[in-house]
Amino acid sequence: MTNQDFNGDTDFLEEVFFDELNQELELDTLIVNKRISVRYRRNDIKAVVKTHSLLFPRLIKVLLLDISSKGAAIHSDAKLRLKSRVSFFLQFDDGKRFTIEAVVANTQSAPRYGLKFSAYQTELADHLLATQTDLQFG
């Protein structure tokens, strides 16, 4: 293809060959936050983590920073170990309770921790959406 193929319109030719939108992009390099599900920032949900230690299981009151059907970000003054299994207890203002098995997936920003739920929580996702009053998404 030459410039003469477009009747001398070189601007059009440059657009065809150098169109930035026509490039193959590696999405992982563009997206810093790789979270797929919607994360809700809620301050109306009480949260507790129970560690799964044989000798000293502990109940730790935590601050819920954000939550989705796949995981949660929490703030805890107690240290949590990476890849440790925990039970995550949630209580909504309407009395609804959830018990979710999870793994501590992120400790790099301690005292902020990331929990990854062992299974997708459909009922939790539905309840989060149904009780959402303040539209703040993470």
Structure-token pair, residue 127: 């309840």
Is the pLDDT at 10 greater than 80, yes or no? Answer: no
CA–CA gap between residue 7 and residue 138 (Å, rounded): 51
CA–CA gap between residue 86 and residue 12 (Å, rounded): 59
Give backbone dihedrals phi and psi of 88, rounded to 5 degrees, phi first.
Answer: -115, 120
pLDDT in tens, 48-102: 999 988 888 899 999 999 999 999 999 999 999 999 999 999 999 999 999 999 9
Is the pLDDT at 118 greater than 50, yes or no? Answer: yes
87 three-class SS: strand
CA–CA gap between residue 64 and residue 27 (Å, rounded): 29
Question: 97 vs 18, which has greater pLDDT?
Answer: 97
pLDDT value of residue 15: 53
Radius of gyration of the chain (CA): 23
CA–CA gap between residue 113 and residue 133 (Å, rounded): 25
Is the pLDDT at 34 greater than 60, yes or no? Answer: no
Give backbone dihedrals phi and psi of 89, rounded to 5 degrees, phi first.
Answer: -105, 130
Show the domains of the chain with their CATH numbers: 45-131 (2.40.10.220)
Is the pLDDT at 32 greater than 70, yes or no? Answer: no
